Amino acid sequence: MSRIFATSFASVYPHYVTKVERKGRTKAELDEVIEWLTGFDDAALGRHLAGGTTIEDFFADAALNPLASHITGVVCGVRVEDVEDPLMRKIRYLDKLVDELARGKAMDKVLRT
């Protein structure tokens, strides 16, 4: 089991916020991306952040967007679509979306619409 699985989502979330804000995007846009991927609304996302939910439990509670399988590309030198562990693939999906957001990709492209 990867160490990241037991890490709280609340401890990773500020790094995502910093990354997108440093590139001129907003926390609201980040939340929109997370909500698109996981199906959580603002209240549910807030509960997970406040409750210290582990990343494993965070994704276990998520209703992954059916278009998530269209997320492809490389994150940290690893091709997302080739990740075999289902939980790690979900984590990489989120990483890829955050990367695309931070790189200035249009929101409709990030959300695969």
Domain locations along the chain: 3-106
Q: How many residues in total does the chain contain?
A: 113
Q: What are phi and psi of 79, to 5 degrees?
A: -75, 120
Q: Average of pLDDT values for 54-79?
A: 95
**Three-point CA angle 70, 71, 74, nearest 5°:** 140
Lowest mean pLDDT among 2-6, 25-29, 49-53: 2-6
- What is the three-class DSSP state of 54? strand
The band of 1, judged by pLDDT with boundaries at 50, 70 and 90, is low
pTM of the full predicted structure? Answer: 0.93
The CATH code of domain 3-106 reads 1.10.8.290
Name 30's Cβ contacts closer than 8 Å, sequence gap at least 6.
16, 17, 20, 98, 101
